Structure 1
Amino acid sequence: MNTHSASLARETRGTRGTHGRYDVVVVGGGAAGLSAALVLGRARRSTLVVDAGAPRNAPAAHMQGYLSRDGMSPAEFLEAGRREIAAYGVEWTAGEVVAAAPDGGGAVGFTVTLADGRTVRARRLVVTTGLVDELPPLDGVAERWGRDVLHCPYCHGWEVRDQAFGVVAHPVMGAHQALLVTQWSDDVVFFPHTYDAVTDEDRLRLAAAGVRTVEGEVAGLEVEGDRLTGVRMADGRVVERSVLFVGTVVTPRDGLLTALGAATEETPMGRFVTVDPTGRTSVPGVWAAGNAIGAAEQVVNAASGGYRAGAILNMDLLNEDLDRKTTAAAEAVAAV
Structure 2
Amino acid sequence: MGSSSAGCENSTMWEANTSSVVRERSQECGGSVSVAFPLSMMITGLVGNALAMSLIYRSYRQKESKRKHSFLLCIGSLALTDFTGQLLTSPIVISVYLAGRQWSRVDPSGHLCHFFGLCMAMFGLCPLFIASAMAIERTLAIRSPHWYSSHMRSRATVTVLISIWGAGLGFALLPLIGLGHYTVQWPGTWCFISTDRRNPGSVVFAATFASLGLLSLATTFTCNLATIKALVRRCKSRNSASKTSKQWERITMETMFQLMGIMCVLFACWSPLLVIMLKMIFNHTSVENCRPPLESQSPEVQKDCNFFLTAIRLASLNQILDPWVYLLLRQILLRKFCQVANAVSNCSTDAHKDQAIILTTEVKKPEG
* Bigger Rg, which one: 2
Higher helix share: 2
- Larger RCO: 1 or 2 (CA < 8 Å, sep 6+): 2
TM-score normalized by the length of structure 2: 0.29
Higher strand share: 1
